[in-house]
Amino acid sequence: PSFTGETLADPIEAARLALEQSIAPLVAKYGRAIAVGHSMGAALLSRAAADHPEWFTGLILEDPAWLTPEQAARYRANGPAEAKRIGDMVGRERETIDTIDTIDTINVDYPLWPRTELAGWLQAKLNVDLDFVATGAVGYTEPWQTWLGDLTVPTLVLSSDGDDTLLN
């Protein structure tokens, strides 16, 4: 969804509702799902599965953005700068982006990422709502530990062990 006005007041809730509105008709038509989510998507998906276990047969969550209050505060504080960085990187006329130069820039920022994955990352940045990014919201304000026990769907969580891991 596009985030403006009321949805920017609680963008994670707006994203959760949009996700649920997307999943419900698919489950109604095709049946229960195995779902995969990454980062904020994994956090949203885990909450949706906790609230609607009847929709899922399993989850795969990669680096879910289950944040500590300190991590959430850092993301919120950095939101405007991150939106500016992405906006500067992709340019105002997103259709005329120099893909090769931008991928080279991304490769400098993330030298360990396989070059084959950078185009997908860039495509996501081209489609991101910068107003949403500026909020710095990437996870729930309610501590995830308070509701994760409600998750009854079989779930595989994949997380790194680096200094910047979100799941401690």
98: DSSP letter: -
What average pLDDT score do residues 9-35 get?
92
Q: What are the DSSP E strand ranges found in the chain?
A: 33-38, 56-62, 155-158
Give the global pTM: 0.79
Strand order through the sheet with 155-158:
33-38, 56-62, 155-158
Q: How far apart are CA 3 and CA 18, in angstroms?
A: 11
Integer angstrom CA distances of residue 95 from 33, 120, 151, 167: 35, 16, 41, 36
Q: How far apart are CA 168 and CA 161, in angstroms?
A: 9
What average pLDDT score do residues 141-166 get?
81
pLDDT digits (tens, 9 = 90+) for 95-121: 555 566 667 777 777 788 787 877 777
DSSP per residue, 143-159:
-GGGTGGG--S-EEEE-
Residue 30 has pLDDT above 80, yes or no: yes
Q: Please tell me the predicted confidence (pLDDT) of residue 110.
A: 77
Q: Please tell me the predicted confidence (pLDDT) of residue 28.
A: 97
Residue 145 has pLDDT above 90, yes or no: no
Q: Please tell me the predicted confidence (pLDDT) of residue 140.
A: 79
Identity of the amino acid at 96: T
Structure tokens at 92: 């105002």
Question: Contact 46/155 with Cβ under 8 angstroms?
Answer: yes
pLDDT digits (tens, 9 = 90+) for 63-90: 898 888 888 899 999 999 989 888 877 7
Q: Please tell me the predicted confidence (pLDDT) of residue 98.
A: 59
Q: Please tell me the predicted confidence (pLDDT) of residue 152.
A: 95
Residue 130 CB burial class (10 angstroms; 0-12, 13-18, ≥19)? middle
Q: How many CB atoms lie within 10 A of CB 81?
A: 12
Q: Please tell me the predicted confidence (pLDDT) of residue 24.
A: 96
Left if phi > 0, otherwise alpha if psi is -120 to 50, otherwise beta: which for 137?
beta
pLDDT digits (tens, 9 = 90+) for 32-66: 999 999 989 999 999 999 999 999 999 999 989 88
